[in-house]
């Protein structure tokens, strides 16, 4: 098992999408689950790449190559994460990365994992302005609005979007969860979100908790 995990990690480090895709497929064939691949190969390696970037050992093109390789793995994993609960929709979630922020790897992982756990997810993408979040609440009437922010310069957008939702008079129509590197529980309390998740597992936990651990009540 460790061999395949190591191959995925090395491929991510080298920014080699082909290697990462192939070794993800091999790992699955050997019976390693998608959850284990995410938890032991993808997340720790992206954290490591972040440290290298922060320390100036690697540069943006390297990070881009690694994130491309990460998406190659997610591409292989997506059907497995999503298909497990196709018939049992537990609720509807609208998700997006806030305005000014182009990071989407974590958001995509959260989205896929929530779909795998039985939720329907509408993904608004990256760099989403507050007006689009508001239109999506009005149009889709989701149970949860999930927002991602990875930069200290963009977490303020989380507060801005929530304030815009309050001003629109629709705050009581939706529960709001947030996430991303700089987000803390203190910040969540300060901006009046309903909760946050530190990682994909935390995301599922908070969403299930907020929706009362219901099973199959929406769009069945």
27 or 180: whose CB is closer to ligand B12? Answer: 180
Least Å distance, CB 95 to ligand B12, is: 6
What phi and psi values does residue 100 have, to the nearest 5 degrees? 85, -5
30 or 125: whose CB is closer to ligand B12? Answer: 125
Task: Point out which residues bind ligand B12 (CB under 6 A).
Answer: 43, 46-47, 49-50, 53-54, 60, 63-64, 67, 100-107, 109-110, 146-148, 150-153, 177-182, 196-197, 199-200, 203
Integer CA distances (angstroms), 35 to 27, 53, 109, 167, in order: 12, 26, 11, 39
Least Å distance, CB 172 to ligand B12, is: 19
Angle, CA 34 vertex, CA 31 and CA 39 arms, to 5°: 115
Instruction: Say if residues 118 and 88 touch (Cβ distance below 8 Å).
Output: yes
Residues 6+ apart with CB under 8 A from 113: 38, 81, 200, 201, 203, 204
27 or 207: whose CB is closer to ligand B12? Answer: 207
77 or 203: whose CB is closer to ligand B12? Answer: 203
Least Å distance, CB 44 to ligand B12, is: 10
């Amino acid at each position: 098992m460790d061999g395949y995990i190591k191959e995925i990690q090395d491929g991510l480090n080298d920014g080699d999408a082909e290697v990462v895709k192939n070794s993800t497929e091999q790992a699955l064939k050997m019976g390693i689950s998608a959850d284990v691949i995410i938890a032991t190969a993808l997340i720790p390696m992206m954290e490591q790449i972040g440290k290298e970037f922060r320390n100036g050992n690697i540069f943006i093109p390297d990070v881009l190559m690694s994130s491309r390789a990460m998406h190659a793995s997610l591409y292989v994993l997506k059907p497995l994460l999503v298909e497990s609960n196709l018939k049992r929709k537990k609720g509807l979630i609208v998700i997006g990365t806030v305005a000014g922020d182009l990071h989407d790897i974590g958001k995509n992982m959260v989205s896929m994992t929530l779909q795998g756990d039985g939720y329907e997810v509408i993904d608004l993408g990256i760099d989403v302005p507050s007006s689009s979040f508001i239109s999506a609440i009005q149009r889709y009437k989701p149970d949860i609005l999930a927002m991602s922010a990875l930069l200290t310069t963009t977490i303020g957008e989380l507060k801005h979007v929530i304030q815009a939702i309050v001003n629109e008079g629709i705050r009581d129509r939706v529960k709001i969860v947030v996430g991303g590197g700089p987000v803390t529980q203190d910040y969540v309390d300060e901006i009046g979100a309903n909760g946050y998740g530190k990682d994909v597992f935390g995301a599922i936990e908070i969403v299930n908790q907020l929706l009362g651990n219901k099973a199959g009540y929406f769009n069945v």
